[in-house]
Amino acid sequence: MAGVVTFDTPVVCTKATRPSAAAAFSGRLAGRLMDFNPFIQSDLEHDEATRKLLSGRSLLCVSARRMMIGHMEILLESVVCSLHSATTEEAGLKHLQQLVPDLVLVGEFLEGSTGMAFIRRIKHRHPHLPCLLILQNETSDVLEEAFASGSDGICLERYAGRGYIVTALKVILDGGIYMDAPLLTIMLKGTFSSVGEVRTRLTPRERDVLCKLVEGYGNAEIAAQLLVSVETVRTHMKAIRSKLGARNRNHAALIAITTGLVRWQKGPSQGRDPL
């Protein structure tokens, strides 16, 4: 049975005043199949992959763009366990007080604030709750703020129809981190002159800790594997962030992957791909 869909404003139609989400989705598919554009089939496949991936899960979608909220409702209402939506930080936080979802999907802009500010507040309360940030802009300033928010995944809205969102969802729901390749290029441009430069900044033990971080392990798991205390791991993490100029754990892992400092390996979750 479809979960209840709620909004923080009465602008969106209710079930009593509009066709069911399943019917709307079916009509959308039928309409698309009449179009011979070569990209249509790919879009349909990505939509279906998203539905399968999020089936039975709970989702919170927060954005000032009602089109984004409406799209997620049409696409997912019949398959998710619960789907709540909001356009402001406060409304989103109220939903979190009632039920912590499996995933939070956040737009760059909210009414009266930004998605980055909202994610910071989420991470303060629920540090392990997966958050995917959808950006409209790709300037360095925006990316700086996106990284600082602690988001688990960052995608460009204009790439949403190319399967990037599906990949991002798979990664962050599996405990990994994700960022679209074009954004990585912008963010890391000119940060380091060579992999060797990055490597020499870290001690052998710090590189060990960084490898475990990239594989998706938490501090306690890293401590157990390296036979050190959790406090020692925290000290190494602090040194790693400082030496790499990383804003948080996710940023440190991204720097390690994209510079080639750490070769990606399968961690506790099998088969995920961060890029």
Residues 237 and 275 sit within 8 Å (Cβ to Cβ):
no
Does pLDDT of 203 surpass 50? yes
How far does CA 210 lie from the centroid of its chain? Answer: 21
Does pLDDT of 19 surpass 60? no
Does pLDDT of 63 surpass 60? yes
* Domains of the chain with CATH codes: 5-188 (3.40.50.2300), 195-258 (1.10.10.10)
Does pLDDT of 26 surpass 60? no
Least confident of 29-38, 47-56, 98-107, 132-141: 29-38
Cβ neighbours of residue 153 closer than 8 Å, sequence gap 6 or more = 130, 131, 132, 133, 168, 169, 171, 172, 177, 178, 179
Among residues 208, 213, 206, 199, the alpha carbon closest in space to that of 248 is found at 213
State mean pLDDT over 59-63: 93
Among residues 120, 148, 113, 114, the alpha carbon closest in space to that of 134 is found at 114
pLDDT at residue number 90: 96
Residues 170 and 222 sit within 8 Å (Cβ to Cβ):
no
In order, the DSSP letters of 117-152 are HHHHHHHHH-TTS-EEEEES---HHHHHHHHHHT-S
Does pLDDT of 236 surpass 90? yes
268 or 166, which is more confident: 166
The arrangement of strands across the sheet holding 103-107 comes to 5-6, 82-86, 58-62, 103-107, 131-135, 153-156, 178-179
Least confident of 132-136, 207-211, 261-265: 261-265
Per the prediction, the chain carries an average pLDDT of 75
